[in-house]
Amino acid sequence: MSPTTLLTWDKYFDANLIPCAREDRRGKAVKVTAKIVRQIVDLAQKKLEKKERILIAAFTQEVNMACELTLGTETLREILIANDLWAVNTRIKRPAFYRNLCKRIPNSLLSIDGSEIELNINGESYKFNLELGVDVGSFTHTGFDISESETSQAVLAVLKQHVRDYGLPLGVVFDHGTANLSKDVRTWLIKHDIEIVPAGPGNPKGNGTDEGAFSQLKKVLGAISLDSSTPENLGKTVLTALVSLYVEMRNKLPLRKSGVTPQVAMAAETSEEVRQKERARLIQHNKNRQDSGEEQSKLEILHWVIQNYDLDVDTPSFRRAEYSIKVYSTDAIQKTEKAFMKAVARNSDRKNLSYFFGILKNIQQELDDAQYHEYCREKYYYKSVLESERRQLEETQ
């Protein structure tokens, strides 16, 4: 445990290790005045003068205790950014289309994803692909398949397990992998009238359902080491048993504060009317994803860059580039086009798609950071807050 954490905890206990009594003011809004901003700025500057690192969570607690406030970490971070005491580092998920895939009714949206599981057998490492299906609404683990690599047959195996135990879902959400969108998988889904809801680049699948499931599963299983004369077969058998055990136990534990277990949530009956409404929502959700004129202009810039510089791009990379370019803003793409032209003129080795997207990612980050910094300055810059209070005082007089 770090010394900083111990020092932070120490502030909440007296000499006899009895928690200090503090008033609970959670949920009570605090108006950020020029005086508050000045106090925070002074405290932050003193830390920086002493060459101490500002850790947002610990510093927020320190400010709240020293100034008798109840500010949150986000507000305090914005105050520091506005007054140039904290570096901006935004993480904006695009496009907003994918944020709408939230939890609804059980057995409505099924999240499917694959992850690599490694086993150590007789001192030798063996890797398997674990394809996992998790219901978005209830977090019920509904099916899995273990194979040497991610294939369409593994995806179909998970789908069939889900249907066998819980019936047909209304839709499935997964990434744009070749296995997920293979002809066999698409044909099977269309045949059973199941909506395909693809996940976007840099965006969680649904509500991060499968990623969270894999994280918990790997944490529980830990490192797996076996000693056997038939490594591959035994490895797969043992891994299947372990995952089966995990899935069985995970479905019996409540995920959230409601106390309802995934198993009970999945077993709850949902009326046909509600299911039809949810199906209509998923269909409308996919229709909203139709390419706009702005997305077409982004693709045109990408196509021009590839053709003009005669970039050597294979088909999978080209499709991925077309898909990913839509994530970025038009302004960032236009700036990248100019920067890429200058970079290639200086060094012809930079003439590749990876370098183009590297520039694009950096420029988009800079634009996002600048936009957020401007937002914080308008809201919490000390001189701006002071001027705003002065004007309000003059208006009331």
Distance CA 81, CA 299 (A): 35
**Each residue's pLDDT tens digit, 123-141:** 788 888 989 998 887 778 8
Does residue 231 have a pLDDT over 90?
Answer: no
**pLDDT for the residue 155:** 92
Q: Can you tell me which residue has the tokens 């950020």?
A: 32
Residues whose CB is less than 8 angstroms from the CB of residue 160 and which lie 6 or more positions away in sequence, other chains included: 143
**Mean pLDDT score, 291-309:** 87
Measured distance CA(154)–CA(145) in Å, rounded: 6
Per-residue confidence (pLDDT) for residue 98, from 0 to 100: 45
Q: How far is it, in rounded angstroms, from Cα 101 to Cα 207?
A: 7
Do the beta carbons of residue 109 and residue 266 sit within 8 Å? no
Q: What pLDDT is recorded for position 11?
A: 57
Beta bridge partners of 195: 171
For residue 250, CA distances in Å to 244, 263, 278, 289, 293 come to 10, 9, 26, 34, 45
Average pLDDT of the segment spanning 206-226? 61
Query: Which residue would you say has higher pLDDT here, 330 or 284?
Result: 330
User: Measuring CA to CA, which residue among 114, 112, 104 is closest to residue 198?
Assistant: 112
Amino acid identity of 197? V
Task: Enumerate residues 6+ apart whose C-beta is below 8 A from 30.
Answer: 36, 69, 70, 71, 75
Hey, what are 85's tokens? 């005491």
pLDDT band at 24 (very low <50, low <70, confident <90, very high): very low
Angle at 24 between CA 30 and CA 257, to 5 degrees: 105
pTM of the predicted model over 0.85: no
The DSSP symbol for 42 reads H
Residue partners of 240: CB distance under 8 A and separation at least 6: 146
CA–CA distance, 256 with 269 (Å, rounded to integer): 20
pLDDT in tens, 49-108: 999 999 999 999 999 999 888 898 999 999 999 999 999 888 765 544 444 555 567 888
Confidence bin at 113 (pLDDT 50/70/90): confident
- Of 218 and 39, the one with more pLDDT: 39
